[in-house]
Amino acid sequence: MNKVPRFISLMADTTAKALIKDDNYRWFYEDLIKFKTGIILNGYKAIDNELNTGNKVKDYRADTIFLKNNNLVNIEFNQFVYVHTMIKNIKYALRMAGNGFLQGKDYFHRFVVQINLNNKVMSSNVKKWNEKDYKLEDYKSKLFLKDIRIITIDLRKYKGICYDGTNKYEAYLSMLTAESYEEMEKIIGDLKEGKIIMEKLKELGLDDEFGMYYDAEIVHRKELNSVKKEGRKEGKIETTTSIAKVMLKAGESVNKIKEYTGLSEKQISMLM
């Protein structure tokens, strides 16, 4: 009996990094970004785009980053959007813009564009930030920070849009909102490029190693949002133990789980 591929969302960092590191599929995200923002990512180097860098779980807070000289473009895939999501993204953009020191007093100027792809808005207070291209202002001097540009794309506007022969890039954005292959097939129709991407997603859906990291990201994001919403101090521990359980289920070694989550061997053995 053939194994049925699980559904893989295009809104996961794990998915984006897997596609972007492959020259056969990188065009998908590049094309939709160019369509919505006018930014051409050709010639940019994708940073931290390996499926598994070997770093700890904190890697999943970082999304897809493109760098060219002093220009940096960061893409945030926000499946569920709360107020704290937008605040985190602004802080992240500021941190990237300020990270221009090399050694000693040497400094290089960095220009940062952050693109927020927002799918499901979970708070009415977020609505005023959606579909905005804005800059940050110093409240004292009333001057804008010219080095940072933040673009927010409201994917809800593309939900359910199906390819009609003329709206290829809108169909790409609609694909980001899909929650099943059936829904994605309806969106794609006879769009050749869409079919290529969906076949790759199905291939990833059959890859157990990819699935492990994909599950870990989903668990991490879900519990992080829960922690922020409820203010639970034990949230960090719950997140790492949940990820450890996913890795145990996937058959990973105790040593690899220790390295990835930071949990002790005793803590991991208690989860078995």
Distance of CA 76 to the CA centre of its chain: 5
Among 140, 143, 187, 148, which Cα is nearest to 168's? 187
Task: For residue 44, tell me if it sits in a domain.
Answer: yes
32 backbone φψ class: left, alpha, beta (φ>0; ψ -120 to 50): alpha
* 75: containing domain: 13-207
Residue 173, pLDDT score: 97
More confident residue, 237 or 77: 77
Residue 79, pLDDT score: 86
Average pLDDT in the chain? 79
Task: For residue 248, tell me if it sits in a domain.
Answer: no
Contacts 24+ apart (CB under 8 A), 55-59: 56/259, 56/260, 56/261, 56/262, 57/216, 57/220, 57/239, 57/240, 57/243, 57/260, 57/261, 57/262
Task: For residue 247, tell me if it sits in a domain.
Answer: no
Residue 179, pLDDT score: 94
Residue for token pair 């994001």: 221
- Residue 88 — very low, low, confident or very high, per pLDDT cuts 50/70/90? confident
Number of domains observed in the structure of the chain: 1
Task: For residue 222, tell me if it sits in a domain.
Answer: no
Q: Is the pLDDT of residue 54 over 60?
A: no
Q: Is the pLDDT of residue 137 over 80?
A: no
Q: What is the DSSP string of the chain?
A: -PPPPPP--TTSHHHHHHHHTSTTTTHHHHHHHHHHH----TTPEEES-SS--S--GGGGG--EEEEETTEEEEEEEEEEE-HHHHHHHHHHHHHHHH--B-STT-B---EEEEEEEEEEE--GGGGGGTT-EE--B-TTT--B-TTEEEEEEEGGGGTT----SS-HHHHHHHHHT--SHHHHHHHHTT-HHHHHHHHHHHHHHT-HHHHHHHHHHHHHHHHHHHHHHHT-TTHHHHHHHHHHHHHHHTT--HHHHHHHH---HHHHHTT-
- Other CB atoms within a 10 A radius of the CB of residue 143 amount to 11
Cα 44 to Cα 73: distance, rounded to the nearest angstrom: 9
Task: For residue 25, tell me if it sits in a domain.
Answer: yes
The arithmetic mean of pLDDT across residues 155-181, rounded, is 96
Amino acid letter for position 227: V
8 A C-beta contact, residue 19 and residue 29 = yes
Portion of the chain with pLDDT greater than 70, in percent: 72
Least confident window among 73-82, 184-193, 204-213, 221-230: 221-230
Task: For residue 174, tell me if it sits in a domain.
Answer: yes
Task: For residue 57, tell me if it sits in a domain.
Answer: yes
Task: For residue 188, tell me if it sits in a domain.
Answer: yes
